[in-house]
Structure 1
């Protein structure tokens, strides 16, 4: 009986540890980030190149600018809070992609950049607080902001597609 209990206890302990690792904030983010990338790239592909300048109102960004804004935010947060590199905001204004294909390429690269920075971040580092314009925030909060910002602007892009009678790609949640 003791041997069975010990084996069962050991199995549960190992299973719990494996599940905790599998469902950590980092692994959950990485899975969601990859799906978010694929979904946004599908949206970017759905809009014809001649409509990349579409903007529903004067106070809103056009389709392409929305994509580049998402990219800039990813590079800013990914660099500033998950690397030792210095973020160069001016570099975003240089070599602005001129085509749909080039825009999608730099957007995809920005997703990959963040993915690699987060993969390289130690799990314990997500509890560390950093200075942020909205006050001190944990790196976990910065992760949430990264995804929330993409979601916010992706929602706008879905409206842009609908306004142009283009059916958006099927939603991907996880």
Structure 2
């Protein structure tokens, strides 16, 4: 009986692993990344959104806008047929914490939908990138890595303001 249970577990584990494509893995991580970043944004009081640890750093608010801009640039340029308008991105930026969080949520959701609609085989295709030819899979990795990088900075901003960051959300 024990051997049958182990065999069943191994077979079901193998089946699950075969269904977990790079795209599926990205989408799962992207959702968790969104939830974690939004929790960090919610932790910072609105009157501290202008906080920056040094003059050469971006403020908390600017970090959030920068993350959003990068997501939309990569998601639009490499996973849609739309033209990315960098100037439009900088216009009519919201001031309130609630509006900024809504804008971030919208950007995460837009990227999620674009990747969800991308054919798995398209991730193998190489595209021109300022750092040389890169596969679309590498662009997915960059999307997540960039959010992680700046989210780490935002955690430091919280700690510098004696605000306990939310518990880490991974996979």
Q: TM-score, normalised by structure 1?
A: 0.90
| Higher-Rg member (1/2) | 1
Match of residue 71 from structure 1: 68
1:160 aligns with 2:157: yes
CA distance in 1, matches of 2:95, 2:156: 23
The alignment status of 1:100 with 2:111, answered yes or no, reads no
Post-superposition CA distance 1:9-33 (Å, at most 9, x none): xxx6x98566322x11000000000
Q: What SS does the aligned partner of 2:81 have?
A: coil
* Secondary structure of 1:115 counterpart: helix
Once residues 55 and 75 of structure 1 are traced to their aligned partners in structure 2, the CA distance between those partners, rounded to angstroms, is 24
Once the 2 structures are TM-superposed, how far is the Cα of residue 92 of structure 1 from its aligned partner? 1.0
Name stretches of at least 5 consecutive residues in structure 1 with no aligned partner.
1-11
Looking at structure 1, the residues matched to 162 and 114 of structure 2 have their Cα atoms a distance apart, in angstroms, of 37
* Runs (4+) off by over 3 Å: 14-19
Structure-2 change in CA distance of 1:97 and 1:128 (3 Å): same
Task: Give the number of aligned pairs.
Answer: 162
Q: Match of 2:152, SS?
A: helix
> Quick check: 1:19 aligned with 2:17?
yes
Match of 2:125 in 1: 128
**Displacement, 1:93?**
1.1
Residue of structure 2 aligned with 1:82, choices 79, 84, 87: 79
Taking the aligned partners of 1:20 and 1:29, their CA distance within structure 2 comes to: 15
Q: Distance in 2 between matches of 1:152 and 1:40?
A: 11
